[in-house]
Each structure stands twice: as structure tokens, then as C-alpha cells.
Amino acid sequence: MNLLHLMWAFFVANALGYGGGPASIPLMQDQVVHGFHWVTNSQFANILALGNALPGPISTNVATYVGYLVAGWPGVLAALVATIVPSAAAFVGLRSLLARHSRSGLVRGMTELVQPVITVMMLLLTLQMSRTAIGGVGVWQFVGIGGLSLFAMIRWRLHPAFLILGAFAYGAFVMPLASG
């Protein structure tokens, strides 16, 4: 049953995520945190962090992680198949058909109108995660770490992987000092 649930959750999240992997993030969170309660928001944040610190597509990393947590290796396989196969098979099979329709504007009209929904879902997820972050490290550390991360990503174009490693180091060495 868990395997079917895994397949359903990751199929829905990826079949509706238009605009590449990142678009699926809020949908995956909705399924695995709110839908099936497999992980908490804080766990999901860490899955995203590790998924981003490791190479490879973020959706397949999340699918692997949650699949393994829920049902071991069979779970990994179920979550990955549901993530990859529908869109990959459709793409290989329908490429020529797609090429015709993308010019007709039908496909463009659909993908364009999904973007505002993804934007709003991403925004709501950001707010939810802010609450989780404040619950974990308090307001000041949240503002400090989050603000510095945002600045480093935008101004210095620093890759998130370094920030994630930096945050791990901060949690390991600085936070124990502060809390005594």
C-alpha cells in the first residue's frame, strides 16, 4: 500500500510541476508533508538542503530520500519510477506531436498559466518554512542565517551547496556554544 501511495504522491507532484524540477518542490512538499505525513517540514527542508548539496536533479533526490524513508529500496524504486517514467516516456514518445502543438499555442497557453500557481505555492512554502526555521533556531538566528544566505546567493552568486555546508558547520560548532 505504501508503495502505491509513494507512486501516487510522486506521480502527482511531477506530472503537475511545469517548469523543471524546482516547480515540483511545493507539490512534493504538499504530498509528503500534508498529504501522507511521511516527513515533517523541518525534515523536508533538510531533504531539500541535502538534495541541493549533492549533484543530480533535485526531484529525484527528494524521491530517493522519501522513498527510502518510507519503504526502503523498494520505496526508492517506486518513487523514482513515478517521478521519471511518465514525463520521460511522454517526452520521447510525443516529441514530434509536441513540436506541432507548441507552435499552435495550446501548450504555451497551458504552461504559461501554470506559472502563477507555482509562484504562489512557492511563496506559501517559503512562509511555512520560515515558521519552521524560527521554531528551530529563533528569530535572530533565522534572520541572520537566512539574510546572509540570500545576500551571498544574489550578490556573490555563491552556490547554495556552500551555504548549506556553512550552516551545518554553524550548527555543529557555534550553536552549542550559544546554548551553553
Binders of another protein among 18-57, rule CB under 8 A? 18-27, 30, 42, 45-46, 48-52, 54-57
Q: How far is CA 150 from the centre of its chain?
A: 18
Within 58-77, the residues that bind another protein by CB under 8 A are 58-61, 64-65, 68-69, 76
Closer residue to another protein in complex, CB, 1/178: 178
Structure letter (DSSP) for residue 20: S
Q: Is 111 in the site for another protein (CB under 8 A)?
A: yes
From the CB of 1, what's the least distance to another protein, in Å? 20
Using the minimum distance from each CB to another protein, give the nearer residue, 1 or 176: 176
Q: Which is nearer to another protein, 37 or 104 (CB)?
A: 104
C-alpha cell of 109? 497557453
Is residue 8 at the binding interface for another protein, with CB under 8 A as the rule? no
Are the beta carbons of 59 and 14 closer than 8 angstroms? yes
**What is the closest distance, in whole angstroms, from the C-beta atom of residue 48 to another protein in the complex?**
5
Angstrom distance (rounded) from CA 71 to CA 43:
17
Pick from 126, 156, 157, 180 the residue near another protein by CB under 8 A. Answer: 126
Phi-psi region of 105 (alpha: psi -120 to 50; beta: other; left: phi over 0): left
Candidates 3, 36, 74, 84; binder of another protein (CB under 8 A) is: 84
Residue 152 contacts residue 146 (beta carbons within 8 Å): no
> Side chain identity at 140, as an amino acid letter?
W
CB of 30 to another protein, least distance (A): 5
Q: Count residues contacting another protein (CB under 8 A)?
A: 104
Amino acid in the structure at residue 144: G
Report 145-174 residues binding another protein (CB under 8 A).
145-147, 149-150, 153-154, 159-161, 163-164, 166-168, 170-172
Q: Distance (Å, rounded) from C-alpha 128 to C-alpha 112?
A: 25
CA distances from 177 to 170, 171, 173, 180 (A): 10, 10, 7, 5
